[in-house]
Chains A and B, each alone.
Chain A
C-alpha cells in the first residue's frame, strides 16, 4: 500500500506490524511521536501490546530487558540524553543476549542543549554489543525495523536502528507499507532459548568467575561476526518479498570511482546528486554509504575502498582528540590491505548539532579532496577560523 509517512511514523507502523508484545519507553524530542503513536495504537486496540510507562530511559531499557527475558518481542525508542542514560542497561541487554529492537533518533548531547541531528549519541554506544544500522529514508526505516527484529532473534543480539533527528524523523516521504500478512510470513516466531522458566528458578546474569567471563564476551564478538552474514541473508529474503534491499554497504556509482565519499544516513542521500554532478564534470566520484556499522563490515569495506585514489569519510560526531569514529574504523580496516592498495583517507567532521550538510558542502569536500586541498587528516567543516574563536 502506497502511503506518506514521516520517519517516526514508519517506525511506529513497523513496530505494530511486527506484533511487538512489549513496548517500554520514555518520550524525548525528537523521538516523541514514535512513543505517542505507539501508545495511541495500544490504547485504541490496534496493537495488542503491553505499553509500560516508566520514569526514565534507564528504566525503559531495564523494563525491556525484563520483558525480553520472558521471551516477549520487545521494542523501545529514545534519543540523545535518553540513550546516554540507558548506557548501563545497554551492556546488560547485549550481555544477556536479548533480541530487543530500539530506534534511536540521532540528536546532539548537551551542553549546550541541542535538539538537532548529530550522531554522537549512538556512536558513543558503539562498544556496548548492540548492532547499529543507520537509515537514509522513511522506507528504509520501516524495512530496517522489520529486518532488525528478524536478525536480532536469529543471532540473539539487540539492534539499534538510527534516524537523523528531524531530517528523517520528521520528514514525510512516499513509501510502501506492506500488507500485515507479509510481515507475519517474514518474521519467525520469537524464541529466546534462555528465557525465564518459572519451573527452573535461577538468577539471570549471575556472577561469573574470571575463568569463564571471557568466554561469554567472546561469544558476543562471534555473534557479531555471524550477524554480518545474517544481515545479508535477511536483506536478501526481504528483497525477494518486497523487491527492496540495502546491503551492509550501499554503493552508488562505485564501479570505476577514484574519489569516494563514505557517508551515513541522510547526507548520503544528498550525496548522490553531488556524485552525479561531479561525474558530469568528468570527476570519477562515487558514494559508499555505510549502513550497518555494527556488526562492522570490515572485509566489504576493504573490498569497496581498496585501490581507490582518494576516500573522504564524513562523520557527524567526533571522538574528541582523534578523528570521527567512522573515519578511525575505516582507516584501521584498510590497514589490512597491502600498502599498495591503500587509498588516501581524509576525514570531515560536519553537521554537528543539526547544522545542515548541503549539496554544496558535499561538492566542495569532494572537490577539495580531488584537488589535494584537504591538507589536514581531519577537517572540521565550515567552522569559524580559529583566531576568532574565544
Chain B
C-alpha cells in the first residue's frame, strides 16, 4: 500500500505500488497448507553410523571457524582422527553434491579436523554425582564414557587389554591407523575425565555384580573378540591362525614371519586387514572366499586398496581340508561353489559343487571367518535376554545397557561410535530419572536427490585425486598434506542440505512478501496473516529446509 495518506485526489499516485506485503488483503485466510522452516537431517548425517552433525560442522568450517568446527565435531565423537582414516565414509555415497562436481570429501575433512588438536580442553559440565561403569575400552565403550564424562558423570572403564582402544588398537593394522593418532584421541578422552582400568577383565578380575553395586549405571561394550571356529579337518594345526589373534600379535609388535603363500579365509574387513598385514611381513596372501567380490562384507574401498597392493583373491571356493605333511601345511583343499538363491542376509548363498575339490598350495592358513561375542561374565538372566536379541534389558535390570557390536552387530568403528553415542544419551536420561529410550534422530531425514537442483551451481571437487583409490593408499598415513585453505574451500562446496543458511530464496520468490527478515542473518519468519500457502517458497528452497504442513 502506498506510504502517503492522501488528503486530496491529486495526491493519489498514478497507479498502485507497494514496498510492503499486500496489507489490506489478509491473504493468509486463504490457505489450508502453510510453509514452515524445518531443518532436515541431511543425507550425509542420515547415512553416518557415528551420527556426526556433518552439515553444521562444515558450515562452521566454511565460515573459517576451524576451532568451532573441531569443538562441535568432538562434542559428539571422540574419534574423528581415527574415523577420518578407517571409516568407509557412507556419508559421501549419499552426498547431493555428487552430480554437481562430485561428492564432498567429508572423510578427508573429518581426518583434517580430527588431526587439528582443539585448543581448549573438553567442555565438561559440572559434576552430577552419578557414576557409570563401562565394560570394554573399544570405540563404543569409550564413546559412551567420553560423552557421559562430558555430561558431568563419573565414568570408569574396565578393559582386559594392557592399553585402551579395543579393536582400534588390536584389530586395525598400523598402516591404516597409526597408533600415535589413536593415543592422541585417547588422551583427550582421559582429559575429559574418563578413568581407565586396564588389565582388568570383568568376570575374572572383577565381578559384573560388583560393577552393578558400585555404579549407578553399567554399559556393556565388550565387542566381538572371539574368533568363529574353523571346522575343517586339520584346523588344529600350529600353522593355522585366527585373524584377530594374528592382527593383535602384529599390533603388539611381535616380529612374526610366515613365509610362503598364506590362505586367508573370509570376506570381511578382518580378512582384508590380515591379507594386507601379511604382505607387509613378506608373506604372499591369497584371500579365499566362498562367494564373489559383490557379496564381500568388507568395505569396498579397502578391497580396492588390497587389490592395488597386490593381494590375490580366490572366489567361489570354500575350504574342506587342510593338507599336512608332518607338522607342515602343504595345501588347502577347497570345494568350488556357485551362487544360489539369496539367503537371510540378502546375499546370494554359496552352493557347493560336488566333486569339484582342488588344492591350493599354501604353507599357512588364517581363518578370518567372523568374530563373536564372549559375554560369559554376564549373569545368566541378562545373557539370556541378550541371546534373545533384546537391545535393552528388561525392566527389572534397568541400569545395564548394551553398546557397540554386542548391541548392533554392525561391525564398523563408525557404528560402534554411533551406538556409544545413543547409549550415552539414554544413560544420561536414565541417570536424570527420565525414560532411557534409545531414540532415533529427531529430524526428518532428507532423501538424497530431494534438493532443488535448479538453484545449485556446479563446483568441482577441490581435490579430485582424493577419490582415486591408489592415491588414497598413499595418503592414509598421518603425513597427509592438507591445508586449512583446502579444508575451508572443500567445506564451502557443502550444499547444506536440509539446513537453512539464509540464502533468502524464499524471500525473493514469495509473491506476498510474507517472508520476514528481522535482521540480517537472523532466522527467517513467515507472516502467516499474508502467506496464502502457495508453497512457492518450499518449492524454491534450494536445500529442502522448508516444509508444507496442514493448517491447524
Contact = CB atoms under 8 A, between A and B. Distances in A.
Interface of A: 95-97, 156, 193-194, 200-212, 215-216, 218-219, 222
Given A203-B18, A203-B513, A205-B17, 16 more contacts: A193-B14, A203-B19, A204-B17, A206-B22, A207-B16, A207-B22, A207-B23, A207-B25, A209-B1, A209-B23, A211-B24, A212-B12, A216-B16, A218-B9, A219-B9, A222-B9
B6 interface: yes
A95 B15 CA distance: 7
17 contacts: A95-B15, A96-B15, A97-B15, A193-B14, A202-B18, A204-B15, A206-B1, A207-B24, A207-B25, A208-B1, A208-B16, A209-B1, A209-B23, A209-B25, A215-B6, A216-B15, A219-B14
Task: Give chain A's interface secondary structure class.
Answer: loop
Q: What 4 A-B pairs are tightest by C-beta distance, nearest first?
A: A209-B24, A206-B18, A207-B22, A97-B14
B13 interface: yes
Interface residues of B, number: 17
A287 B397 CA distance: 111
A152 to B, nearest CB: 13
A194 B17 CA distance: 9
Nearest to A97: B14
Name the residue among B6, B18, B513 with the largest chain A CB count within 10 angstroms. B18
Interface string B1-37: 1100010010011111111001111000000000000
Contacts of A211: 24
Contacts of A212: 1-2, 12, 16
A62 to B, nearest CB: 16
Name the residue among A202, A203, A219, A222 with the largest chain B CB count within 10 angstroms. A203
Nearest to A69: B15
A219 B12 contact: yes
Contacts of A222: 9
Nearest to B9: A215
Contacts, number: 61
Contacts of B12: 212, 215-216, 219
B27 to A, nearest CB: 9
A227 to B, nearest CB: 14
Interface string B443-479: 0000000000000000000000000000000000000
B18 to A, nearest CB: 3
A202 B24 contact: no
Given A200-B19, A201-B19, A194 B14 contact: yes
Interface in B513-527: 513
A207 B514 CA distance: 14
Interface string B287-301: 000000000000000
A284 B13 CA distance: 50
Contact of A203 (B9, B17, B25): B17
Name the residue among B1, B16, B25, B513 with the largest chain A CB count within 10 angstroms. B16
Contacts of B15: 95-97, 194, 204-205, 216
Name the residue among A211, A215, A222 with the largest chain B CB count within 10 angstroms. A215
B531 to A, nearest CB: 14
Nearest to B16: A208
A208 B6 CA distance: 14
Nearest to A207: B22
A305 B14 CA distance: 35
A209 B12 CA distance: 13
Contacts of A193: 14
Contacts of B9: 215, 218-219, 222
Contacts of A215: 6, 9, 12
A222 B15 CA distance: 14
